[in-house]
Structure 1
């Protein structure tokens, strides 16, 4: 089954979903449905170890590129659907799947072949979006702060960041852009063929460089360049409001620009206090921007995708997945959605 531009997902309204989890266990899926959520995405480094057919309970599935088969992805989608949910996207593959692609290493061509196969299999399995990032070292956080009620939230301080090389040498922006364009030219034709949308996430934190590696997707100008580099209706943004808030860019101008061009595919709705070089995450009503105004602007520019909470503060009695903090964020966003629907009807 291949998703095309006229897939059922494109006919859905703006809606609140849930993501930022790797293991769709039965109890987790029930909890999500109990929150009144119908749409999810998965951070797919592994999926649940409780499947009865596993030869070893501790063996993670989808841990290597060879395991991202059509059958495995269909099984995953159908598991989500049996819980009354829709699987909108898979967000990220392990960095080890494409570190040589990002940095131009010896295994680049092999990894590009793997990525093409994974994207093709996603489309054939009926999973319409694939979120990706361009961060060879992943997300950086190096502080923890107390926010409202002594909830704990992560942060970043550039002055406290380790400046040692993470990948043996320093890389130039020209190298990263060359590698990025090669990735797009290799993978986008497959995405277009099978109807998968590729969704780019910002670098987090959006600073010039970390560990000797340029952080390309740190500002408005570079996102413009990314979208224009290899023009495609199947390439857009996994628009992380938290990262854009960290940048200190004109958030409303970015939403209007990319929204008017149909490049907002789904949204991470979170916020921070402060901007680079120093910031910390916080609750949605305590960050840099006006959540209600930004929510309304997304609706105004015609965004009709899925909005999910992103990182949330760790509240009292929370789990490692921060399910209580996520429940609060889902309820907050559902309230914003209800308010805007009511205003639209008056």
Structure 2
């Protein structure tokens, strides 16, 4: 059964946070920051007892934890610097902890999976003055250099080295490990259209798959690309979580894109939901990177300027998006009979 999840970037959730989520009909919570769990700063990986207490508290509001993020893999590991193997061990230990808590989707972040400085962020003003993230290739006059082929291959070797430890641990722990596409999806980005295939080809394991981000992939090619990828990866059972985001334009077609409200972008989101159902997807639908409405207090990150990336109390953008998705679910039920 399809469910709605929202992303938070802290584990310090207030009663108001949980109450508002519950009132909106949110089913699950996704944790987007690997360092936010108790224990990570002290021992390098989450504390099981404190995680179970957090899980119990969330369940008391009728929700559950859906996806979590492992401790970050930094440049030290990617460049194989002395002592960096501890980062991988911390992630392995985190997988075991999440497995003990019966949390079955984890994401590993890798430094260098996004090429920054190739497009210009700008404030996009949309319907009624709503603010969203825009990015333009043409506005970026001085672009940073991208890695060489040799550097990218060395980077991939580091990812493979990490996955060779993480994947068997995930399988033994009953956990699925999901990769998010590179955002922004500039050409040759490691987890772009080719890289998403590569991670699955390198590790043909049912526990290896994707946090499939509709918005990020639409930035790379619009509705047709998204529909093709949902069909391809969905038929293989490799879509573990869906980020449900609408956009205007794309880098290949317009040289720019703007994130948009679910009903106000280029894509028909109901059509995408039908494609997900057709391939048998029954996980969470997560509205992410929500435009900021008047009165909102957005959760901002300098990497994605003007993009509301995580839940905040009294966020009209998130409330609107959750309601829109639940309405799509109701329409889907009637459509399917």
TM tier relative to shorter chain: 0.7 to 0.9
**TM-score between both structures, scaled by the size of structure 2:** 0.85
Runs of 4+ residues deviating >6 angstroms: none
Residues matched between the structures, number: 313
Q: 2:39, 2:297 → 1: CA distance?
A: 23
Check conservation: 2:115, 2:146, Cα contact below 8 A. Answer: no
Unmatched runs of 5 consecutive residues or more in structure 2: 300-311
* 1:337 corresponds to which of 323, 329, 332: 329
Is the counterpart of residue 89 in structure 1 residue 67 in structure 2? yes
Check conservation: 2:70, 2:91, Cα contact below 8 A. Answer: no
- Residue 105 to residue 280, structure 1, CA distance change in 2 (3 Å): farther
Q: Which residue of 2 aligns with 1:308?
A: 286
For 2:263, what is the secondary structure of its paired residue? coil
Q: Which residue of 1 aligns with 2:166?
A: 187
RMSD, aligned CA: 2.5
Is the counterpart of residue 118 in structure 1 residue 60 in structure 2? no
Q: 1:289, 1:237 → 2: CA distance?
A: 21
Q: 1:148, 1:315 → 2: CA distance?
A: 10
- Residue 170 to residue 26, structure 1, CA distance change in 2 (3 Å): farther
For 1:316, what is the secondary structure of its paired residue? coil
Compute the displacement of 1:134 (Å): 3.5
Is the counterpart of residue 40 in structure 1 residue 32 in structure 2? no
Q: 1:317, 1:171 → 2: CA distance?
A: 48
* 1:99 corresponds to which of 75, 78, 83: 75
* 2:268 corresponds to which of 286, 290, 298: 290
Higher deviation after alignment, 151-160 or 236-245: 151-160
For 1:17, what is the secondary structure of its paired residue? strand
Check conservation: 2:5, 2:285, Cα contact below 8 A. Answer: yes
Is the counterpart of residue 18 in structure 1 residue 6 in structure 2? yes
Q: 1:121, 1:42 → 2: CA distance?
A: 15
**TM-score between both structures, scaled by the size of structure 1:** 0.83
Q: Which residue of 2 aligns with 1:4?
A: none
Check conservation: 1:43, 1:92, Cα contact below 8 A. Answer: no
Q: Which residue of 2 aligns with 1:27?
A: 16
Q: Which residue of 1 aligns with 2:49?
A: 71
Q: Which residue of 1 aligns with 2:178?
A: 199
Q: Which residue of 2 aligns with 1:173?
A: 152
Cα deviation per residue 1:253-297 (whole Å; 9 max; x = unaligned)?
100110000001010000211212421111112223211100111
Q: 1:304, 1:108 → 2: CA distance?
A: 37
Q: Which residue of 2 aligns with 1:328?
A: 320
Unmatched runs of 5 consecutive residues or more in structure 1: 1-12, 49-59, 209-213
- Residue 225 to residue 25, structure 1, CA distance change in 2 (3 Å): same
Q: Which residue of 2 aligns with 1:10?
A: none
Check conservation: 2:39, 2:47, Cα contact below 8 A. Answer: no
Q: 1:131, 1:113 → 2: CA distance?
A: 15
